[in-house]
Amino acid sequence: MHRYSSIPQSPRVTAFVSLLFLVISATVFAQNIPAPQVAPAIPKFERFDVTDPETGVHSVRLLLTLPVTGNVAQTEGPRFTIECLDNKGKHDMIWSVSFGGVPNPGYVPKFRATQYNLYPPTYPEAKLRLIFEGYIKSKPFVQSWSELPSGELRYRNPGMGSPNMDSARWYLGFLNSLPGLRIGYAKKGPADPGELFFPTQALLTELNKTPACSQ
């Protein structure tokens, strides 16, 4: 009958086996640790109230600005603006959007015809697609916007020179139910920026308690 005795291992082999065990254990442990979650950047909300001394029009501008990402040269992030105008009890609403790099233009008085300047300026047209998102997504809405010299795009409320049938205010029903606005060019060209997503709940909360923004 043969007896098998254990073969003694050298100290070098024992150290290698121990090191290998530690490496494998550390790898398995690291795989079980969840990756740290990076908190999304929070948009900046601002409100500006102005009364035009010449006309008495009260303007309330509600701005939602996304953080600057990618292009470090930009100092202004993408911005969605709802402006409410109260002209002696008559209310109007204007929507504007910037895809980044455009300073806040502030309050711009409505065009007033004079004997030397009878007609309002005309601006190039851009077709933008809007989708409202929340617990569901709305269908896409493609509407006409004006490209202003400042770089902002302004929604064309119905009227002379506008092909849109619905006013910006009409979309508040969608925005109140689905408070996430995704907006981008309907047919994106090579030089056009990508679409934006604005979480608008903070803006809506302020809008719904502002008399100038009511019907």
pLDDT digits (tens, 9 = 90+) for 77-120: 999 999 999 999 999 999 999 999 999 999 888 877 777 777 77
Domains of the chain from N-terminus onward: 50-104+125-213 (2.60.40)
Q: How far apart are CA 21 and CA 18, in angstroms?
A: 5
Q: What is the pLDDT of residue 212?
A: 94
**Tens digit of pLDDT for each residue in 30-64?**
354 444 443 456 889 999 999 999 899 999 999 99
pLDDT exceeds 60 at position 3: no
Order the strands of the 180-185 sheet from edge to edge.
44-51, 58-65, 79-87, 90-98, 153-155, 141-147, 125-133, 180-185, 196-199
Query: Taken in order 200, 205, 210, 214, is the CA torsion positive or negative?
Result: positive
Side chain identity at residue 181, one-letter code = L
**Tens digit of pLDDT for each residue in 6-26?**
444 555 545 544 544 444 444
Backbone angles phi, psi at 51, to 5 degrees: -115, 120
Q: What is the pLDDT of residue 131?
A: 97
Q: What is the pLDDT of residue 176?
A: 95
**Tens digit of pLDDT for each residue in 121-151?**
889 999 999 999 999 999 999 999 999 999 9
Sequence-separated (6 or more) residues with CB below 8 Å from residue 179: 134, 199, 200, 201, 204
